[in-house]
Homo-oligomer: A and B are copies of this chain.
């Protein structure tokens, strides 16, 4: 299976690392809009414009949703099958339609919006609803870095560096597991913790106020702001851990609660997302080989397609 990587940020690097663990995949190269000579990739780097001249079974698109994928996915699927991790929830139907049309025109297949959320967490929410129809689902995220919230803090005058961790509140997780999660507010479910390096002459109290009162991002949450120096920031806050859990609580009969919980504890968010996307590339290519065309999501693939194992092997040793 010949796999290409489009984009070489954190996710692209993660896909490169993941591909080197797969015995059934060959990494064709990294395709970039930057000068390929400037990339420190372990596999060959090429200009994105050269992509149509390469033989590729699946391209894994590693750009951002807002500006990259919305245009790249329908564009690149004209040349080969693609997997992306488009995560702007409100625009998924529109993105799906554009990718589906382009893929069908050129007889290709695509799998969009995968990773862990959207992706594995979506799968678990649907599985939970299918098995426990009389129930509720709650998703918790963290402890982990939210890029959007970190960016928002960095835009405040006087902030040099900043990272924001989203942390689920254990009391809320316990409530949900008991089936008592109805009515939980954003403030009840997650805590926001910021580590900020401020400029020497900055007014720290003003920065703190600007953060905790920021509409949409922080005002509906309990937010802790910690000021640290650059050395501590570099030592403790440059990794990208993340995680979370999807909890389905339901009743199979009036006094019979049942709980399904899927949780992730990730030392590296981009490397894990990359690993899911690589497994999905395998699954998509299997579907393509069986004649499937157009756009799909992780809901449409049998789990067996994600592995390189045969159906006989799966039945014998994995059931």
- By a beta-carbon cutoff of 8 Å, the part of chain A in contact with chain B is 14, 17-18, 21-22, 89, 92-93, 96, 113, 118, 120, 122-123, 125-127, 129-134, 177, 252-253, 255-268, 271-272, 274-276, 279, 282, 297-304, 306-307, 309, 311-312, 314-316, 318-319
Contacts and interface: CB of A to CB of B under 8 A. Distances in A.
A146 B118 CA distance: 37
Contact of A307 (B122, B129, B255, B314): B129
Nearest to A304: B299
A298 B131 CA distance: 13
Count of this chain's copies in the oligomeric assembly: 2
B302 A301 contact: yes
Contacts of A129: 307, 309, 318
A303 B265 contact: no
A66 B257 CA distance: 30
A284 to B, nearest CB: 12
Contact of A262 (B261, B309, B319): B261
B252 A93 contact: no
Contacts of A275: 131-132, 252, 258
Given A256-B268, A263-B263, 7 more contacts: A17-B253, A129-B309, A256-B271, A258-B268, A262-B262, A300-B311, A301-B302
Q: Sort A-B residue pairs by CB-CB distance and give the 10 closest, nearest first.
A: A130-B306, A252-B271, A299-B304, A259-B265, A130-B279, A118-B319, A130-B307, A256-B267, A261-B263, A256-B268
A149 to B, nearest CB: 22
Contacts of A255: 267
A177 B265 contact: yes
B276 A131 contact: yes
Contact of A126 (B252, B300, B304): B304
A252 B274 contact: yes
Nearest to A249: B265
Given A126-B303, A265-B177, A297 B319 contact: yes
A252 B10 CA distance: 13
A287 to B, nearest CB: 10
Contacts of A177: 265
A268 to B, nearest CB: 5
Contact of A253 (B252, B268, B319): B268
A266 B250 CA distance: 10
B265 A258 contact: yes
A96 B262 CA distance: 29
A129 B279 CA distance: 10
Of the candidates A134, A267, A299, the one having the most CB atoms from chain B within 10 angstroms of its own CB is: A299
A89 to B, nearest CB: 7
A258 B279 contact: no
